[in-house]
A = this chain, B = another copy of it.
Amino acid sequence: MPQERTKLWYLKNLDIFSHLSDEQYELIDKLAAMRPVKKGEVLYFQGATDKKFYMLKKGVVKITKLTPHGNEIILDIFSGVSLFGEIGVLNPQERDESAIVVEDGLICTMTKEDFERLVHMIPGLVIKMTKIIGLRRWKIENKLLDLLYRTVEQRLAKTFLNLLDDFAVPRDGGYLLKIKLTHKDFADLIASTRETVTATLNKLKNEGLLDFEGKYLVIKQLEKIRSLAE
């Protein structure tokens, strides 16, 4: 990982199921059905009313949102062990985001009922959940504010830094971003357009800050990227 661990990094890895007894772990294991998922699979759609939450064990999932005007925005990308869709077990409303598999993986789901049974046995679980929700809110709020007030170049640079936390692979002095994202994906991540992303990426490439390696991006001058993101 290229940068020092941030508060966010620690919090992201905060496990709501830590400090549990073996029996409790077994119970959770029994309740949460695991299944493999394939790229492109939609776990839930905006508007869905499924009452469950998801635990990603392996793979990559993106959380997207479609505005009434047809703009798609990627709110977050999860990889490795992480938890998402938690709103489903706590809120009565319908989902206002979709979750789509970006890279094959494994997920567990837990229904609202099972979660509530669990909460009875493990008090304090809800509080942990609220912390995760609070963190989510903080993250998304800050992301959207960045999108509002910063240029495309700055937004892209920041996106690289975020992705490096999860997908960095050292590559002669720099870091390869081991996640396949199209220019359209980047555009949806930073609320811009495909064309502008293409142009900006090539500009940064010409300036020597990054390079293309097949379908992957290589960050060659991390410090310069960092100062762009500021």
Query: Contacts of A138 on B, CB cut-off 8 Å?
Result: 93, 96
Chain B CB within 8 A of A204 CB: no
Given known A67-B149, A73-B145, contact A127–B90 (CB-CB < 8 A): yes
For the complex, would chain A's binding face be called helix, strand, loop or mixed by DSSP majority? helix
Query: Contacts of A135 on B, CB cut-off 8 Å?
Result: 91, 93
Query: Contacts of A144 on B, CB cut-off 8 Å?
Result: 141, 144-145, 147-148
Number of copies of this chain in the oligomer?
2
Contact call B131/A133, Cβ cutoff below 8 A: no
Chain A, range 90-123, C-beta contacts under 8 Å to B: 90-93, 96
Chain B CB within 8 A of A49 CB: no
Chain B CB within 8 A of A215 CB: no
Contact call B149/A147, Cβ cutoff below 8 A: no
Chain B CB within 8 A of A130 CB: yes
Candidates B65, B91, B127; contact of A131 at CB < 8 Å: B91
Candidates B93, B126, B136, B147; contact of A127 at CB < 8 Å: B126
Q: Distance (Å) between the CB of A73 and the closest chain B CB?
A: 7
